[in-house]
A = this chain, B = another copy of it.
Amino acid sequence: MIKVIIIGSGNVAQHLIAAFQNSQNLGTEIELVQVFSRQIGSVSHLLDLDHITNDFDTLTEADLYIIAVSDDAIAAISSKLPFKNRLVVHTSGSVPLNALDDNNRKGVFYPLQTFTKNKAVDFKIIPICLESENATDFQLLEKVAKAISDKIFAINSEQRKALHVAAVFVNNFVNHLYQIGNEICQEHQVPFEILKPLISETTQKIMVLSPSAAQTGPAKRNDIKTIQAHEAFLSNEDHLKIYKTLTQSIQHNGKKL
C-alpha cells in the first residue's frame, strides 16, 4: 500500500479526501492514513476522528504528504513538518516547487479544477499536473494520481505558472463576464436564464473547434456601427472599459491573421 497524508481542510483538501476515499473503496493500492486539520471539526464529517490530527508531532509515517492549504501558508507549513527526507508536495498552481522546505523531498500535485464546497466533482476527468525533483518520486506521484484521475500530466514550475495564468482567464475572468451579463440583464428586467443556453453552447463549441475558429460577433466582423451602439448603451464604467478592451483585442487578432 502507498500511504498518503493530507495536510489541510479547505476545498481542495476536502475534495482530495473524498477522491482518495472513493479510490480506496474501489480497491486501489492507495491508503489515506491521516488528515491534518487545525480545526478537527472541519473534516470530522469526512473521516473517523482517529485519522485526524491537529498536532504536527503526531503525524504518522507515510509515502506522501500532500499539503493542500492556501498559497501563502505552504512554505510555513512545510517547514513545520517534524521529519526529514520524506516526499512532501503542494497542490497549488501558482507556487513553485522550491517554495517547499529543504528538509524533505519536494513535489507538486496540482489538480487543475475549480472546487466548490458541497458541489461534487468527477475527479476522474480532472487533470493532475505533477512535478518532482527525481524520477522515483515522480513514479510514486503518478501512481497516486492515477488512483483518482485518468488525466496525468508532467508539468514543470514554469509551465504550471502559464497554466495558472491561463486558468485565471478561462475561469475567473470568464465567470466575471457571466456576472456582467447577469448585471446587464437585471438592469433591464430580463431574466439571466435566457442567456444560459448560449453560455453552454459557447463552451461546447471550443470542445470541437479552436477558440479562434469559434469567434463571432461585432468585434470579429469589425461591425463599427454595432460596437458604437453597444458602447453608448453601457452606463457602467467598468462594463464599458471591459467592452472596449476586449473588442480591441479581438480586432487586433483579426489583423494578425
Contacts and interface: CB of A to CB of B under 8 A. Distances in A.
Contacts of A249: 176, 180, 238-239, 241-242
Nearest to A95: B226
A112 interface: yes
Interface size class of A (residues with CB under 8 A): 35 or more
What is the interface of chain A mostly: helix, strand, loop, or mixed?
helix
A87 to B, nearest CB: 23
A201 interface: yes
Interface string A147-172: 00001010100110111111111111
A170 B195 contact: yes
Nearest to A234: B165
A185 B208 CA distance: 17
A167 B195 contact: yes
Interface centre among A175, A190, A219 (most CB of B within 10 A): A175
A24 interface: no
A159 B184 CA distance: 10
Contacts of A174: 174, 177-178, 199, 202
A220 B176 CA distance: 10
Interface string A206-249: 11111110111111100101100110011000110111011011
- What are the nearest 8 A-B pairs in CB distance? A172-B217, A162-B188, A179-B211, A178-B211, A166-B181, A170-B181, A166-B184, A238-B249
